[in-house]
């Protein structure tokens, strides 16, 4: 009996220590939200917000991986601290980043561009070609990109006209983001698929009543942008 109570006391102490560790860890871990807006010849741009402490600049790590062999060629680190008028509603507005990238030093090829803020992956993964061959492959599809053919693409935004009462929520439970979210017919493109349209890699994470068959609806922040986009027939690629 005495032995049992000793074991129970020991287990209780262990449990308390575990709770203490978990609560300490969860309060100190920074949460980061953000996105890569674009990647081009000059570098990689986007924004990141430390949502745990929006007054502090989030550290951003851009990871560049050669698609052909899966090797990481660069990990570039910067602080997201440039002023962005469009992000003032989240706090200081000092959340932009712009990292120059020495593409030519990596050699010809196709590169995956990913970014992390405090270890959490930002949305908006990109593919960037270096050299004429890679650029041509990206156009004509390559081993890492499989053409799905020509789809009708349209645009939508969180407004009531486009999204009814859903706002920025997607049918898979995520918050829709520009340069990231597309609405698909899940029977044609399964949820979670990464689809490249016009050089931007999107994630299939929404559906809509009007999106059937070879049709993709691309999420934009504003209704003006959806009108400007209109309807376009373009070749789309599955990123593998």
Q: Which residues bind Zn ion (CB under 5 A)?
A: 157, 159, 162, 223
Query: Is there a contact between 218 and 182 (Cβ–Cβ < 8 Å)?
Result: yes
Shorter beta-carbon distance to Zn ion: residue 57 or 176: 176
C-alpha distance across the termini of the chain, in Å: 61
Q: Report the alpha-carbon distance of residue 9 to residue 3 in Å, rounded.
A: 10
Shorter beta-carbon distance to Zn ion: residue 9 or 227: 227
Residue positions counted in the chain: 240
98: left (phi over 0), alpha (psi -120 to 50) or beta: beta
CB of 225 to Zn ion, least distance (A): 9
Shorter beta-carbon distance to Zn ion: residue 94 or 226: 226
Shorter beta-carbon distance to Zn ion: residue 61 or 223: 223
CB of 154 to Zn ion, least distance (A): 11
DSSP secondary structure string, 10-77?
HHHHHHHHHHHHHHHHHHHSPPEEEEEEEEETTEEEEEEEETTSTTSPEEEEEEEEETTT--EEEEEE
CB of 183 to Zn ion, least distance (A): 12
CB of 239 to Zn ion, least distance (A): 27
Shorter beta-carbon distance to Zn ion: residue 3 or 161: 161
Q: Report the alpha-carbon distance of residue 136 to residue 143 in Å, rounded.
A: 13
CA-nearest of 168, 167, 164, 188 to 178 is 168
Shorter beta-carbon distance to Zn ion: residue 18 or 159: 159
Residues paired with residue 64 on neighbouring β-strands, in sequence order = 74, 113
The structure tokens listed for 154 are: 């349209």
CB of 222 to Zn ion, least distance (A): 8
CA-nearest of 51, 45, 44, 47 to 35 is 47
CB of 171 to Zn ion, least distance (A): 17
CB of 34 to Zn ion, least distance (A): 24
Shorter beta-carbon distance to Zn ion: residue 95 or 219: 219
């Amino acid at each position: 009996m005495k032995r049992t109570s000793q074991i129970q006391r020991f287990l209780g102490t262990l449990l308390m220590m575990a709770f203490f560790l978990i609560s300490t860890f969860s309060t100190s871990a920074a949460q980061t939200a953000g996105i890569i807006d674009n990647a081009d010849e000059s570098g990689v741009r986007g924004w990141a917000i430390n949502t745990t402490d929006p007054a502090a600049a989030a550290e951003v790590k851009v990871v560049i991986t050669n698609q052909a062999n899966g090797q990481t060629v660069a990990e570039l680190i910067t602080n997201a601290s440039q002023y962005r008028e469009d992000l003032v509603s989240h706090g200081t507005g000092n959340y932009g980043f712009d990292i120059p990238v020495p593409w030519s030093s990596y050699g010809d090829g196709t590169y995956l561009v990913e970014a992390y803020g405090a270890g959490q992956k930002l949305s908006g993964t990109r593919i960037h070609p270096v050299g004429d061959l890679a650029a041509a492959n990206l156009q004509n599809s390559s081993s890492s990109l499989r053409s799905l053919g020509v789809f009708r693409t349209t645009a939508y935004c969180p407004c009531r006209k486009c999204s009814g009462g859903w706002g920025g929520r997607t049918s898979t439970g995520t918050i829709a983001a520009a340069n990231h979210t597309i609405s698909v017919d899940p029977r044609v493109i399964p949820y979670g698929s990464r689809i490249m349209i016009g050089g931007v890699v999107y994630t299939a994470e929404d559906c809509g009543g009007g999106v059937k068959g070879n049709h993709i609806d691309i999420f934009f922040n504003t209704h003006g942008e959806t009108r400007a986009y209109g309807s376009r027939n373009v070749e789309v690629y599955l990123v593998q």
